[in-house]
Structure 1
């Protein structure tokens, strides 16, 4: 019998009750994703996927497909490994996705490392062509961090997270995956250079792609968030629960055994 992953404060909804007594695994070691799930009453096993996360970006016509594909590979990689290593203790639900610190973009840029991409916008529209974008990853130095923030300053970023839920079924290949992408717009204030420099010197953005972490001190640089705040912080919680509801609605046997 697996340990209980549904915490006492979880809402007593029919969908969440399906999770009671089931083995839930998060395919990531991200503390942000773990904390967000805990906030809503889910305490999964934390087992990072070993997928290399190196899908060729040029193979995607739409950049929004990239984080979803990466998250899907992570979920399948982890599930197959756990089933192979211990078939009697296979997970009932694998969650993969959401890592806003993986990639961030500015001035028509994007960067790619895991299952989230962030795209900048000159206007509130939701997409830009891939050809106009420039890779922007974690800062390599404090000077690089300041350059990134100057690019982002006064602009709009779109954070795109791939979210994948994987669960076992009786037919081949033995599992089903459900995939979505969550998109959130982050509007940066017209910050003074002195504020940007002070933020850079704090070191808060050292480990974040794009050089800022909106869920920490970097929130002072942000004017508005349009969409799921938790998507910016690490995990699109609202979409996760909506997807669970949808799966239960479409598949009455989901986690019913």
Structure 2
């Protein structure tokens, strides 16, 4: 059985492009990173942490997939905003610039463990204060890294992307599918 160690509705929907035969068991871990981990390795580190937790917590006979997505700008990882001020700050930081979206994945079974990352780049249009306020007033920014969701109204902020669209949503579907084949 495949276990998705995430409660993200977007990841559940995207994993269904690969298989309908999976269960969800969210990882209950603190999303902290050791100080010696390089910045762009954070998502892979957290994906491994989540997958290992679920694997060791009663799913050692299953294939467990852990994931984490980070938005990176100005040498920082932007997480989910704490409040509207934090969302506003992040959106202003991303306005008119290119940033990286990195999704880390880890697949664990009894036989092996594979961890990998996918990187996509997103360029935002220069945003007016009014555009930022209108977007903040939707419910979208508050549960998404970097304060936006490209699959929703956040698409209106995006000038262009380079890389895997699904990676930006939160799951690099094609790459994950190829890596899962190593476990069959």
TM-score by length of 1: 0.65
**Displacement, 1:196?**
1.8
Identify which of 9, 31, 40 aligns with 1:53: 31
Cα distance 1:182–1:200, how it changes in 2: closer, same or farther (>3 A)? Answer: same
Specify which of 199, 217, 226 is matched with residue 135 of structure 2.
Answer: 199
CA RMSD of aligned residues (A): 2.0
* Cα distance per residue 1:166-194 (max 9 Å; x no partner): 1223xxxxxx1011111010110123332
- Residue number in structure 2 paired with 1:109: none
Gaps (5+ residues) in structure 1? 1-22, 98-114, 121-131, 170-175, 248-253
Give the Å deviation of 1:135: 5.7
What's 1:167 paired with? 109
Question: Cα deviations across residues 214-236 of structure 1 (Å, max 9, x unaligned)?
Answer: 11111100011111111111211
1:110-121 alignment, distance < 5 Å: 115-120=68-73
Residues 43-63 of structure 1: per-residue CA shift (max 9 Å, x gap)? 41101123322222x211x22
Which of 154, 159, 176 aligns to 1:218? It is: 154
In the TM superposition, what are the counterparts of 1:91-240 in structure 2 within 5 Å? 91=62, 93-97=63-67, 115-120=68-73, 133-134=75-76, 136-169=78-111, 176-240=112-176
Matched with 2:45 is: 69
- The residue number in structure 1 matching 2:55 is 79
Partner-residue secondary structure (3-state), 1:48? coil
Higher strand share: 2
Distance in 2 separating the partners of 1:165 and 1:242:
12
Q: Where does the alignment leave 5 or more consecutive residues of structure 2 unmatched?
A: none
Q: Which has the larger radius of gyration?
A: 1
Name the CA distance, whole Å, in 1 between partners of 2:89 and 2:53.
Answer: 36
Give the count of matched residue pairs. Answer: 184
What is the DSSP-based 3-state SS (H/G/I as helix, E as strand, rest coil) of the residue aligned with 2:143?
coil
Q: SS state of the match for residue 206, structure 1?
A: helix
**Tell me, what secondary structure is at the counterpart of 1:205?**
helix
Which structure ranks higher in relative contact order (CA pairs < 8 Å, sequence separation ≥ 6)? 2
Give CA-to-partner distance per residue, 1:136-172, whole Å, 9 cap, x none. 4333332332222111100111011111111223xxx
